[in-house]
Homo-oligomer: A and B are copies of this chain.
Amino acid sequence: MSVLIVGITVFVLAAFVGFEVISKVPPTLHTPLMSGANAISGITVIAAVTAAGLGSTAVAEVLGFLAVVTATVNVVGGFLVTDRMLQMFRRPGAKDASKDPGAR
């Protein structure tokens, strides 16, 4: 079975998981969830290190370097900022939010 097919299969399944895993989210969590998901999309850092690793020409190396930097910012910054947002939800905040879906 070709790598492409595997990729497609995996992609489709993962997409389904993505669709299903996000059920009704209370508005209070929209931003943190967006931010967290964004951090996950930084997974491209894996490709970035690989690319930067194999860069033979100067240009390629510069681009690879930039790729690693930007991807890393996305990952590190993303998870940190999400954590900071969620930190603000003390119990009241959280309680309120958890009530939210019922309310709508």
| Chain A residues engaging chain B, CB cutoff 8 angstroms | 1, 3, 6, 9-10, 13-14, 16-17, 20-21, 23
Partner of A1, one of B6, B13, B16, B20: B6
Compute how far the CA of A13 lies from the CA of B1 in the bound complex, rounded to whole angstroms. Answer: 18
A3 and B3 within 8 A (CB): no
Q: How many Å lie between the Cα of A10 and that of B11 in the bound state?
A: 10
Give the docked Cα–Cα distance between A14 and B15 (Å): 11
Given A1-B3, A1-B6, A6-B1, does the pair A17, B13 have CB atoms closer than 8 Å?
A: yes
A14 CA to B13 CA, complexed, in Å: 6
For the complex formed, measure the closest distance between the CB of A42 and the CB atoms of chain B, giving whole angstroms.
21
